[in-house]
Amino acid sequence: LESLKALRCIFNVETNLLNNMPYETLFQRGIHVVTTGLVFAEPVAELGLAMALNLARGIVDADVAFRQGKELWGGDGNQKARLLSGADVGIIGFGDLGRALNRLLSGFRTRTKVFDPWLPPSILIDNGVEPASLDDVLSTSDFVFVVASVTSENQGFLGADAFTKMREGAAFILLSRAGVVDFQALMDAVRSGHIVAASDVFPEEPLARDHPVRALPGFLRSAHRAGALDIAFKRMGDMVLEDMDLIDRGLPPLRSKRAERETVSRMRSKPVDKN
């Protein structure tokens, strides 16, 4: 930083705010720290919706059975099927991704409760959802979406007790980071038949070839691909260029999301290891 005398903004295009730079010094010097994560909210929310619909209707399993000549026709193939429309839905976390997901769910007329300890109730109410405790979200929802960031306070906070509180047969959809979940406890809850689950993220990425989740029935898997769309990357480029133009004209960045000094050092998200 001492050598970067003209530095005015750091753009985090990996989008996960990590505790990996001297934020207090940056804030003291008036240097913006921003993330382009908003571009991924809509793509990730769409995949989350697709996962929920699949868990509700068994689409992938029915396709595999059909390919194997073991398909069940009509009502025989819907013994465990349910509707997302009009269902009780819980969302854990209500940042950009949670709000994008809520907009999609509005078309399904869901009764949606949200737990987010970083937001005042009025913001949730203004978005048409009901503020609720974590226990309430877990115990009263047919579908639970986890979109909370990993922080120094919440790593692994969704464990065996949390899954036990969920309704029998409820669906658990993990979209943010695996660090907020006790992953072994999640697998145990699915293996027992108490819940079904889907995840786009895992404790280690790429995942070991012999990891037991790969062969776990009742668990829908996606290889951290929910937001990795070409259109999202192009939108990210547009976002950065527009904010750079604003900064060059002596204005603050508006397209990217600014890191907050009170919370950024508490973030613990882990990027994908691509080596």
What does the pLDDT look like over 44-77, one tens digit per residue?
999 999 999 999 999 999 999 999 999 999 999 9
Query: In this structure, what token pair is assigned to residue 72?
Result: 């069940």
In this structure, the answer to whether residues 92 and 216 fall within a common structural domain is yes
Interatomic CA distance for residues 181 and 189, integer angstroms: 12
Q: Is residue 69 part of a domain?
A: no
pLDDT at position 150 is 78
User: Quick one: 92 and 213 in the same domain?
Assistant: yes
In a domain, 41, yes or no: no
Give residue 268's pLDDT.
56
pLDDT tens digits, 196-207? 999 999 999 999
> How high is the pLDDT of residue 18?
75
Specify whether 31 is located in the same domain as 145.
no
Within-domain flag for 2: no
pLDDT confidence of residue 270: 58
Residues 217 and 98 in one domain: yes
Claim to verify: residue 163 and residue 208 sit in the same structural domain? yes
**Is there a domain that residue 46 lies in?**
no
Residue 90 β-bridge partners? 113, 144
Nearest to 137 by CA among 175, 90, 202, 79: 90
55 part of a folded domain: no
Q: What is the pTM of this model?
A: 0.92
- Phi–psi pair at 123, nearest 5 degrees: -65, -40
Instruction: Write out residues in the chain with pLDDT < 50, as ranges.
Output: 275
Q: Do 190 and 236 fall within a single domain?
A: no
118: CATH: 3.40.50.720
3-state secondary structure of 12: strand
Same domain, yes or no, for 233 and 215?
no
Residue 160: domain span: 81-221
Q: What residues contact 146, with CB distance under 8 A and at least 6 apart? A: 92, 93, 158, 172, 173, 174, 175, 176, 180, 181
Q: Are residues 17 and 143 in the same domain?
A: no
**174: which 2 tokens?**
């993990």
Q: Are residues 125 and 256 in the same domain?
A: no
- pLDDT of the residue at 14: 79
- Judge whether 207 and 213 are in contact, CB under 8 Å: yes
| Residue showing tokens 């070839």 | 209
Same domain flag for 243 and 212: no
3-state class (DSSP) for residue 189: helix
User: Maximum distance among all alpha carbons in the chain?
Assistant: 69
The pLDDT value given to residue 44: 97
Is 73 a domain residue? no
* Total tally of structural domains belonging to the chain: 2
